[in-house]
């Protein structure tokens, strides 16, 4: 048996999910690789050319907070239960996650016909003194290929005052090259630390210019960018395909959705990657939050 019984559209409790997964991990660990091999693949992009991914890589960086709750994502069973609900919704193309989460969901049988990106650099733990020295501690390019995933995601934050930025840039350049050799897209999340001489949009434009020049080819490079007030000016800094970073809007979800809809009209923007916003919405209804976001990506939501 390559996987557990497929997760129902209304999954049981998180405790029930964990019990089954822990049993397989304890007694049949080889079934993890078998479940990944058995996963039905789909084209990276469908006819409409957009992509909507659920992000689930925050916990591996030590980020468990959503809104005012410091431990919101700490319960792994509940986290997985919400992910199952999200991935079953129409309009969701797939997942971005670390190996532990991808393997759990593969065992649950919910990754068939989904696009799956593996998260690569998680070493810059949130709030640590080495946060910008973001080492590659999760997937490698080869590991992504061997697991049959569809691409790799990495993150770099530009801060001229922190030497960790240079080490992270070098690591990202190597990873982009390794993914390109395997003809797999590299999704690079770009952030910039505030500077007194630059407004936020200009600082991000500078960071985009730096990241776009990484590696020996940009043919397989995508960007993942935060949504700012002057999004049209920011997106003018690149020709690379771009996904929007969902973020954690807290109680301002409706405002955030409007900004997503406006940004989706820009020609470089191909979709959305959102996690906490949708998995732990203020109103508590994961399916509703995911459906609203899917409508925005597919062009029939709020605008």
> What 3-state class would DSSP assign to 234?
helix
Taking a C-beta distance cutoff of 8 angstroms, is the pair 139, 152 a contact?
A: yes
pTM of the shown model: 0.94
What pLDDT shows up at residue 303? Answer: 46
Element (H, E) at 287: helix 286-297
- Where in the chain does DSSP place strands (E)? 51-56, 94-97, 115-119, 151-158, 186-192, 221-226, 242-245, 269-274
Domain boundaries along the sequence of the chain: 14-297
How far apart are the C-alpha atoms of 61 and 63, rounded to whole Å?
Answer: 6
Superfamily holding 14-297: Aldolase class I (3.20.20.70)
> What 3-state class would DSSP assign to 237?
coil
Q: Which residues of the chain have pLDDT under 70?
A: 1-12, 248-252, 301-303
What pLDDT shows up at residue 12? Answer: 66
């Amino acid at each position: 048996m390559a996987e557990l019984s497929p997760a129902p559209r209304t999954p049981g409790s998180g405790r029930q999910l964990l019990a089954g997964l822990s049993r397989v991990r304890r007694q049949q660990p080889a079934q993890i690789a078998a479940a990944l091999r058995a996963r039905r693949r789909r084209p990276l992009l469908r006819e409409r050319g957009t992509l909507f991914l659920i992000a689930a890589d925050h916990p591996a960086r030590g980020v468990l907070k959503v809104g005012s709750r410091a431990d919101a994502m700490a319960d792994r069973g509940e986290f997985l239960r919400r992910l199952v609900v999200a991935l079953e919704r129409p309009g969701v193309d797939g997942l971005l996650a670390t190996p532990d989460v991808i393997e759990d969901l593969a065992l649950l049988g919910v990754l068939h016909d989904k696009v799956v990106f593996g998260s690569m650099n998680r070493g810059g733990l949130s709030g640590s003194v080495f946060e910008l020295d973001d080492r590659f501690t999760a997937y490698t390019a080869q590991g992504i290929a061997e697991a049959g995933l569809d691409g790799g995601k990495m993150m770099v934050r530009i801060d001229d005052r922190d030497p960790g930025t240079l080490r992270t840039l070098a690591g990202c350049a190597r990873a982009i090259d390794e993914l390109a050799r395997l003809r797999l897209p590299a999704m690079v999340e770009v952030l910039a630390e505030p500077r007194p001489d630059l407004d936020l949009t200009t600082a991000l434009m500078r960071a985009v210019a730096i990241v776009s020049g990484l590696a020996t080819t940009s043919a397989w490079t995508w960007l993942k960018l935060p949504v700012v007030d002057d999004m049209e000016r920011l997106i003018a800094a690149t020709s690379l395909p771009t996904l929007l970073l969902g973020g954690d809007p807290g109680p301002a979800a409706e405002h955030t959705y409007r900004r997503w809809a406006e940004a989706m009209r820009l020609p470089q923007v191909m979709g959305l990657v959102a996690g906490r916003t949708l998995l732990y919405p203020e109103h508590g209804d994961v399916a509703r939050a995911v459906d609203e976001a899917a409508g925005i990506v597919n062009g029939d939501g709020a605008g």
